[in-house]
């Protein structure tokens, strides 16, 4: 039986299926067959949309992180100073995470996947965000902290949020987003304040 929907609709279904399956099973656990089954297309059709499983994953990752980054950059633009930028960035990132569903897991699950290319991209992409935030931390401290320290702060914030959201989303049932955001905001505010005051 031939499926006759528009190509873009099929592509959309495939991307959603991939997102879901990668998030549930991780990069290694997800099989092309499991993705196409969920998308209700034939196995072979996968390769009309993506040249490989890896490319699909990277595409997905880029898309999702792209959205995230766009949201973050848009939100940051409204901030007057480093502190506001940081907080707005985090709020935007968390909102985007929560809206995208299981992205947090996807990223977390792939940080060290077997495929060097996958690993590298995930780290690149997470590193970018960390460096973005690191610049705010640097500004926050008027350049008085070492490069290592501001980068560490950025990584700490990114990783802390990633883990927090991942853990929170894994709960059964997951708490409503409305409960999560204030908690994240307070933690971030606290960390920012702490960073400024520390030593």
Partner DNA sequence: TATGAATGAGAATTCATTCAT
Partner DNA sequence: AATGAATGAATTCTCATTCAT
H-only helix segments in 101-146? 103-110, 116-140
Q: Please, what is the minimum distance in Å from the beta carbon of residue 48 to DNA?
A: 4
Cα Rg of the chain, angstroms: 19
Q: Exactly one of 79, 101, 127, 177 binds its own copies (CB under 8 A); which one?
A: 127
CA distance linking residue 174 with residue 176, whole number of Å: 6
Nearer to DNA, 42 or 183 (CB): 42
Q: Residue 168 interacts with its own copies (CB under 8 A)?
A: yes
Subset of 66-125 contacting its own copies (CB under 8 A) = 105, 108-115, 123
Place of tokens 């409305």: 178
Nearer to DNA, 58 or 140 (CB): 58
Q: With CB cut-offs between 5 and 8 Å by kind, which of its own copies, DNA, none does residue 3 bind? A: DNA
Q: Please, what is the minimum distance in Å from the beta carbon of residue 76 to its own copies?
A: 20
Q: Please, what is the minimum distance in Å from the beta carbon of residue 166 to DNA?
A: 23
CA distance linking residue 11 with residue 5, whole number of Å: 10
Tokens coding 187 = 């933690």
CA distance linking residue 182 with residue 168, whole number of Å: 14
Q: Residue 197 interacts with its own copies (CB under 8 A)?
A: yes
Q: Please, what is the minimum distance in Å from the beta carbon of residue 152 to DNA?
A: 34
Which stretches of the chain bind DNA, using CB under 7 A?
1-4, 7, 10, 30-33, 41-49, 51-54
CA distances to 10, 114, 138, 165 from 50, rounded to whole Å, are 12, 19, 40, 29
Cβ atoms of residues 30 and 21 within 8 Å: yes
Nearer to DNA, 45 or 63 (CB): 45
CA distances to 42, 76, 83, 92, 146 from 136, rounded to whole Å, are 47, 10, 7, 15, 13
Q: Exactly one of 13, 59, 155, 177 binds its own copies (CB under 8 A); which one?
A: 155
Residues that bind its own copies (CB under 8 A): 25-30, 105, 108-115, 123, 126-127, 130, 146, 148-149, 151-153, 155-164, 166-168, 170, 175, 179-180, 183-184, 186-187, 189-199
């Amino acid at each position: 039986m031939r499926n006759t929907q528009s190509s873009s609709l099929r592509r959309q279904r495939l991307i959603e299926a991939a997102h879901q399956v990668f998030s549930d099973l991780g990069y290694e656990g997800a099989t092309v067959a499991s993705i196409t089954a969920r998308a209700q297309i034939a196995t072979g059709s996968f390769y009309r949309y993506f040249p490989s499983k890896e490319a699909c994953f990277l595409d997905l990752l880029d898309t999702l992180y792209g959205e995230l980054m766009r949201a973050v950059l848009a939100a940051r633009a409204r901030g007057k100073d480093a502190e506001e930028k940081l907080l707005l960035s985090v709020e935007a990132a968390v909102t985007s995470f929560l809206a995208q569903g299981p992205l947090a897991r996807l990223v977390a699950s792939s940080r060290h996947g077997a495929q060097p290319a996958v690993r590298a991209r995930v780290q690149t992409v997470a590193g970018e965000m960390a460096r973005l935030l690191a610049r705010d931390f640097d500004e926050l401290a008027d350049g008085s902290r070492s490069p290592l320290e501001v980068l560490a702060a950025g990584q700490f914030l990114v990783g802390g949020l990633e883990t927090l959201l991942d853990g929170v989303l894994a709960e059964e049932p997951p708490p409503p987003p409305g409960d999560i955001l204030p908690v994240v905001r307070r933690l971030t505010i606290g960390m920012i304040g702490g960073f400024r005051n520390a030593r």
